[in-house]
């Protein structure tokens, strides 16, 4: 039984997102789970996982690399080979068979990688050769991130083309749209921030130059899908992997204002996930700020619960709310909200382990 449309809970009301009618305002956030199979291709277990959660108004499937160069973690899915496309086709069919709607998040990690994850063990690439100074998981365990290689000017258009081809592949895979991952300290975010972008060409320096790569990618993906089937994710207060900017408010005010020139499916904004005491110039309430700037549909994400999600929609600070960990542990999250039943608790020890444990074995409510 589907959760009822409940006007007393804004989260459980229908919502029109462009050409798509969402059955509720709960979005399953894109969640890296590291359960792809051989060749970083999705497998049947992944189809089960996503179809279990098809009661979400919208599923944004986990970040998927646009090329072998875009890989930053073991066993994460891609969208650049026929085998990967075929694996995703099983997932989109399973979600659609359960009356769900699903977008794919397009991903290039940039410097957040390691030669052990790169073709021919080459260095990862980035706007500039700056090491974020952290560790990440590799096939040989935790390793320090190595200083990346700065992209040559003539290489950048090739990465834009990779995004365009990945967008074509996502369409072939049967998705309802795509989201461009421009957050969480990955490649597009690295171009945006002046701490990670020291370029002196047309992709560095002033804010419009640092934002150039983002908008070139956006234009390329829209050329495939049309603007109303493309979303974008930003983290204006993100500080992961050594990210910092001298004036993040000016940076993201520029980006978000310019996004008003497009009729996007949505803008997906990540609220601060960590205390910002060390970064007093960062925004502490992202969606409230950008609700006054952005004219389109806003998704809010970041440590939301049922009460906070309803409040944000009720106050008009967001149109949709993305839930991560709650959807991991509660495949029937909209129904649990509707019937006010206790939630399963996520087992963080199994977030990235192979197999069904902590993935497809969380119980559904009995009611």
Cα angle value 29/30/32 (rounded, 5°): 130
Give residue 91's pLDDT band: very low, low, confident or very high (50, 70, 90). very high
pLDDT for the residue numbered 301:
97
**pLDDT tens, position by position, 201-222:** 999 999 999 999 999 999 999 9
74: exposed, middle or buried (Cβ count in 10 Å: 0-12, 13-18, 19+)? middle
Contact 288, 312 (CB under 8 A): no
Q: Mention every residue, 6+ apart, whose C-beta is less than 8 A from residue 209.
A: 199, 202, 203
User: Is 186 annotated in the active site?
Assistant: yes
Three-class SS state of 51: helix
The confidence band for 7, taking pLDDT boundaries of 50, 70 and 90, is: low
Give residue-wise pLDDT tens across range 293-349.
Answer: 999 999 999 999 999 999 999 999 999 999 999 999 999 999 999 999 999 999 999
Residue 2 confidence (pLDDT) above 90: no
Lookup: tokens for 75: 């066993």
Read off the pLDDT of residues 121-146 as tens digits, 9 standing for 90 and up: 999 999 999 999 999 999 999 999 99
What are residue 142's DSSP bridge partners? 137
Confidence of residue 1 (pLDDT cuts 50, 70, 90): very low
Q: Which residue has the tokens 């956030």?
A: 29
Q: What count of Cα atoms within 13 Å lies in the side-chain half-sphere of residue 99?
A: 8
The token duo for 197 is 């972008």
How high is the mean pLDDT of the chain? 95
Q: Are strands 15-17 and 20-22 parallel, antiparallel or unpaired?
A: antiparallel
CA–CA distances in Å: residue 233 to residues 154, 200, 261, 276, 339: 26, 26, 16, 20, 31
What is the pLDDT averaged over residues 233-247?
A: 92
Name the active-site residue from 80, 163, 186, 359. 186
Tell me the DSSP string of 77-105: -BSSSHHHHHHHHHHHHHHHHTT--EEEE
User: What is the 8-class DSSP label of residue 145?
Assistant: P
pLDDT surpassing 90 at residue 279: no
> Is the model more confident about 281 or about 224?
224
Domains of the chain: 10-324 (3.20.20.70)
DSSP letters of 327-366? Answer: HHH-TTHHHHHHHT-PPPPP-GGGSS-SSSTTTT-PPPP-
**Is residue 273 very low, low, confident or very high in pLDDT (cuts 50, 70, 90)?**
confident
Confidence of residue 367 (pLDDT cuts 50, 70, 90): low
CA distance 118 to 228: 33
């Amino acid at each position: 039984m589907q959760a009822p449309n409940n006007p007393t809970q804004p989260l459980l009301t229908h919502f029109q997102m462009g050409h798509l009618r969402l059955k509720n305002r709960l979005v399953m956030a894109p969640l890296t789970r590291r359960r792809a199979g051989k060749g970083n291709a999705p497998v049947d277990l992944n189809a089960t996982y996503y179809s279990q959660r098809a009661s979400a108004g919208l599923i944004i499937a986990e970040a998927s690399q646009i090329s072998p160069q875009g890989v930053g973690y073991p066993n994460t899915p891609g969208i650049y080979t026929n085998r990967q496309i075929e694996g995703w086709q099983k997932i989109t069919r399973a979600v659609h068979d359960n009356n769900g709607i699903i977008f794919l998040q397009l991903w290039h990690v940039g410097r957040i990688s390691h030669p052990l994850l790169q073709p021919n063990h080459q260095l990862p690439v980035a706007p500039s050769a700056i090491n974020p100074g952290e560790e990440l998981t590799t096939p040989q365990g935790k390793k320090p991130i190595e200083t990346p290689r700065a992209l040559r000017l003539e290489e950048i258009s090739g990465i834009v083309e990779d995004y365009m081809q990945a967008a074509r592949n996502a369409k072939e895979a049967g998705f309802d749209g795509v989201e461009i991952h421009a957050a969480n300290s990955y490649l597009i975010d690295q171009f945006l921030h002046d701490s990670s972008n020291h370029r002196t060409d047309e992709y560095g320096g002033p804010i419009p130059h640092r934002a150039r790569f983002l908008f070139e990618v956006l234009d390329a993906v829209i050329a495939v899908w049309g603007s109303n089937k493309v979303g974008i994710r930003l983290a204006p207060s993100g500080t992961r992997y050594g990210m910092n900017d001298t004036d993040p408010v000016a940076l993201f005010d520029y980006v978000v204002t310019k996004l008003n020139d497009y009729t996007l499916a949505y803008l997906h904004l990540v609220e601060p996930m960590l205390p910002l005491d060390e970064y007093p110039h960062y925004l502490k309430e992202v969606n409230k700020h950008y609700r006054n700037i952005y004219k389109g549909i806003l998704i809010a994400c970041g440590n939301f619960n049922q009460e906070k999600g309803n409040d944000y929609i009720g106050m008009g600070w967001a149109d949709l709310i993305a839930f991560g960990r709650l959807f991991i542990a509660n495949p029937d999250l909209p129904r649990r909200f509707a019937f006010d039943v206790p939630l399963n608790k996520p087992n963080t020890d199994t977030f990235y382990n192979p197999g069904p444990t902590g993935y497809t074995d969380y119980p559904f409510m009995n009611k």
